[in-house]
A and B are shown apart, each in its own frame.
Chain A
Amino acid sequence: MSVVDDEDATLRERLADEPVPALRVLAVVAVLVAVEFGALANLVMSLPWDAVGAALPGFLQGAAATIAGVGDGLAGLPTLLSRSVIDNAGYQLPSGEWVGTFMGLSPAAAWLLRVALIYAYGFVWLLVGWWSYLVYRDNYRHADWAPVDDMVGRFRNHSWGLFGLAIIFAFVVLAVFAPALGPTTVDANIADPYLHSIEYYSEETGGVEEIYVGDANGESQSRGQGGENVGPMQYDQYDRFHPFGTLPSGKDLFTFMAAGARVSLFIGVASLVLAGGAAVVFALATAYYKGLVDLGIVIASDSIQALPQLLVIMLASFVLSGTWLANLYNGGVVLALLFGLTGWPGLWRAVRGPALQVSEREWIDAAKSFGQRPSVTMRKHMLPYVVGYLLIYASLTLGGVIIGVAGLSFLGLGINAPTPEWGRAVSAGQPYVATPSWHISLLPGILIVIVVTGFNALGDGIRDAIDPQSDVETGQQDQTAAAGGGA
């Protein structure tokens, strides 16, 4: 606002007027995208597009397949922070020298370096997001002050909420960069271990030998007793590094966890988009129209809530287990649908109160009095007051969904084996909890607790940020009111 004189200028004109700050942001974003383009494409392609493709009519399926091919091609592009650039796979010669790893580092060091760089990369994205908000606020927004500024300010001072944000950030990076973060890949180590092989230095033959991953896994099992255990931060006898140790089958637990994070995040987000979307639409409609609409949805949601959610999901996923639906994304799509369909009543109840409250405000009457359309009234005059509450409850619910999916997988329902899912790791490690192989159950369990806590903390932070009650006495309002000039 300071630079642009013409108060009427639209955002486009203001951008054209003073392009430098925006271009700077854009340049940084472009660089960030360029170095990791393959990884981003990989993330996009990892979503269950089969589900979409299968739903398309025949002639479109061809086109979809072409696009999928292009997408897969892009996903294969080299990226900066990938396994192939910073490789942690190799073998150690008797001399202590490492062969095959990045710059001859030990696999542990190479892996740690890659992890650190990936998290640094993610953090830069976070900073860029914050920076572009600042650039927009200071350069392109007309209003010197907006209510959202206060919310952001309150959140910035909310250490518990920031803690939650940090946890969720770490979790999301783990999910997004899962293929690059694991010391090995799901493909090679978990899904098709007998189609891949590794090299190692054999003391028996005194030379470098090749072995199937499957056979190597057989020698690196964690089964508690009898010295069969590869614990956290240990190497197995084929010089493979296991940050979290191995599973009872000898597969790498960290790789398993990273891939599982992706599945959990997908199910959580997809089910909440579904449930949250339904909840908001219903809440706005019931608050605006009240009466019979409200009654109908109350009855529908009560009927759903009267059912025990997990039991219904178990039953439904069992019933659906033989169908094509159950195979989409290894069962993830079914779970997302089920959690979404059974989850909206809870979210709807949570946001119905705020929606009803805002529907009583006189600005709704004002909008009606000059003939605003109901849909616009709901979107402009009600939604902004409801969406914050939705975020709070969504982040609380997301933790619940992750626990629910883990619980179902623990019971052998839910995600089909061998696709990684945290609950299955807990289940696999259960017999070994009291043995040296305690890590199999405990590490995933701890991660689940931390992630769920993180979502709860984030929800608390958002609540305190949007709740104007929490800064009634800061004097901010008086100050700004004074700036407006006397009436």
Chain B
Amino acid sequence: MSRPGPERTATGLAGLDCDPGETLLSVRDLRTYYESGDLIGGQPVKAVDGVSFDVKKGETLGIVGESGCGKTTLGRTLVRLEAATGGEVRVGDDDVTQLSGEDLQAWRRNAQVVFQDPESSLNDRMTVGEIVREPLDVHDWGTPAERRARVRSLLEKVGLQEEHYYRYPHQFSGGQRQRVGIARALALEPEFVVLDEPVSALDVSVQAQILNLLMDLQEELGLTYLFIAHDLSVVEHICDRVAVMYLGNVMELGPTEELFEDPANPYTRALLSAVPEPDPTAEIDRMTLRGTPPSPRDPPQGCPFSTRCPVKIRPEGFEDVDDETWEAIEVFRETLRARSRAERSLSEQAREFLGFETRFATVDEVVEELFADRELPGSIREPVDRATDLARDGDEAPALDHLREELGSVCDHEPPAAHGVDATARESRCHRHDDEYEEPAAVGPSVGDAE
């Protein structure tokens, strides 16, 4: 490899040298699965399950979602810390997921990460200078003296002092340590930086300083950011565009302002409604959706959000069933799902088999509680009874299949396609954007800044 000097111009990958505003990265149907820990069988964890989006040069693209939605894995896949299972990440004519050798080194030089936890991302046994210098050493950048000079100027650029060169990370506060992490990420003049929740581990008072620093640096150096966060207010503050992830899928993607003002997707709407407005530190944990996200090992067959969606489409012929009864059916399905996921110890299985009581309520108890004082029309009663029979044997999967066949709607059967939802190239994945159904906004409570 040639020795890139301080005045390096070429990035080494043709696609990286595009003009601001042009597409830098185009992610297509990217999938990252983790093999399950079990030696035999077991479903892989589908952390990222087919996402597509573009990243434009010079912009900040936010990725938001609850913890476990795959946003961090997505970021790590883009910088090749995880191997993609399928799909591609195009940079010009190159596919990042397939790069090797010199091209991979070129990508590594141009794609950097700022990690979430500054306590864990800096090696305590190295001085700050050594830490920031290491990427320069790896890529044989300039002469040793030039490298030291560059480290000093980087330290100054991120708001530290030159004499911090010979200090150890122990001697710094969390905010300062994160500045060191930023300096390290910028050492090689990267084009693309993944910011993996860079401020969520910091004191609230320091968060704004770090965010402002990141924005200043972006402006000065023309950086492209992928900003991963679960804090919506931070995203609204810093991002040009936002992708909302749920269960390894991008549910909605669009310009920040429009998306926050008038969220189109039911999941985005649920996410935003959970944020009490005046409190900037609110986390999504306060969201009050029914149940928990399904396991990424076994995602729903239709829409990823279908198990919890408050505005899920009813199947044909059931539009007139009253809301509470329909809700009871959804709860019944959710309960069966939860049971099928719960780990059962061998002794519990044995107790169940012998008809003893276990910590799981029997299916009949559940049915009793949900449906006892309800008049169920025959078209519902029948599938519920059949599912109860099936589940009584301790195997919920056939029961769930049956319920889906009989009482499932398009949301349960088909993954929704991306629909353009306004003039700004915003996309949302929801069947309700089809003409034949009502828009989410029309059926749910009103959400967003516009109200």
Contacts and interface: CB of A to CB of B under 8 A. Distances in A.
B168 A370 contact: no
Given A371-B104, A487-B176, A7 B135 contact: no
Interface stretch (B46-54, B156-164, B295-303): B156-164
A367 to B, nearest CB: 7
Given A7-B162, A143-B127, A144-B166, A366 B171 contact: no
Range class of the A interface residue count = 20 to 34
Given A368-B81, A380-B126, A142 B113 contact: no
Interface string B128-165: 00000011001100000100110000000001011111
Interface string B68-102: 00000000100111000000000000000000000
A147 interface: yes
Contact of A8 (B126, B135, B148): B148
Interface in B164-205: 164-168, 170-176, 179, 181, 184, 188
Given A370-B112, A371-B108, A371-B139, A480 B120 contact: no
Nearest to B79: A369
A370 B115 contact: no
Contact of A366 (B113, B164, B175): B113
A380 B167 CA distance: 17
B138 A372 contact: yes
Interface string B15-50: 000000000000000000000000000000000000
B165 A7 contact: yes
Contact of A481 (B115, B127, B173, B188): B173
Size band of the interface chain B makes with A: 35 or more
B209 interface: yes
B161 A371 contact: no
A313 B165 CA distance: 52
B145 A8 contact: yes
A485 B162 CA distance: 12
A477 interface: yes
A370 B123 contact: no
Contacts of B168: 143, 145-147
A349 interface: no
Contacts of B121: 361-363, 365-366
B124 interface: yes
Nearest to A480: B171
A385 interface: yes
Contacts of A481: 170-173
A371 B138 contact: yes
A484 B176 CA distance: 9
Given A363-B120, A367-B134, A7 B166 contact: yes
Interface of B: 76, 79-81, 104-105, 108-109, 111-113, 115-117, 120-127, 134-135, 138-139, 145, 148-149, 159, 161-168, 170-176, 179, 181, 184, 188, 206, 209
25 contacts: A7-B165, A7-B166, A145-B167, A361-B121, A361-B123, A363-B122, A366-B113, A368-B81, A369-B79, A369-B81, A369-B108, A369-B113, A370-B108, A370-B135, A370-B139, A371-B104, A371-B138, A380-B134, A477-B170, A480-B170, A481-B170, A481-B173, A484-B172, A484-B173, A487-B209
